[in-house]
Amino acid sequence: QQQVKQSPQSLIVQKGGISIINCAYENTAFDYFPWYQQFPGKGPALLIAIRPDVSEKKEGRFTISFNKSAKQFSLHIMDSQPGDSATYFCAAGINKLIFGTGTLLAVQP
């Protein structure tokens, strides 16, 4: 019962490059779409979130692109840095969050 599908499972990017992680959801009632970042041994932390009434939200080097008709949203990390190396989770929900399976990002110096 995977309502939020995330890809790729892992990603290697060179320093300064663009990291792109994609998610697709099934429930059209979902109205909140956050991305979480998790470092080893730590709990996930909110990175950026979007509502379906906008198609894009940018915070610093992090951008969410949202396509309501395709039921897809993605995270773009511009100018990726080694410190961005972590596991990233997308999520979606109404009054509780359903998470994707995670993407392990490695940014090589």
Q: Is 98 in the site for other proteins (CB under 8 A)?
A: yes
Please tell me whether residue 54 binds other proteins under the rule CB under 8 A: no
Indicate which single residue of 19, 93, 105, 107 sits in contact with other proteins (rule: CB under 8 A). 93
34, 77, 84, 86: which one contacts other proteins (CB under 8 A)?
34
Sign of CA dihedral 60, 8, 26, 89: negative
Kindly tell me which residue out of 1, 53, 70, 109 binds other proteins, with binding defined by CB under 8 A.
1
Query: How open is the CA angle 33-100-1, to the nearest 5 degrees?
Result: 110
**In one letter, which amino acid is 76?**
H
**Site residues for other proteins per CB under 8 A:** 1, 6, 9, 31-32, 34, 36, 41-46, 49, 89, 91, 93-102
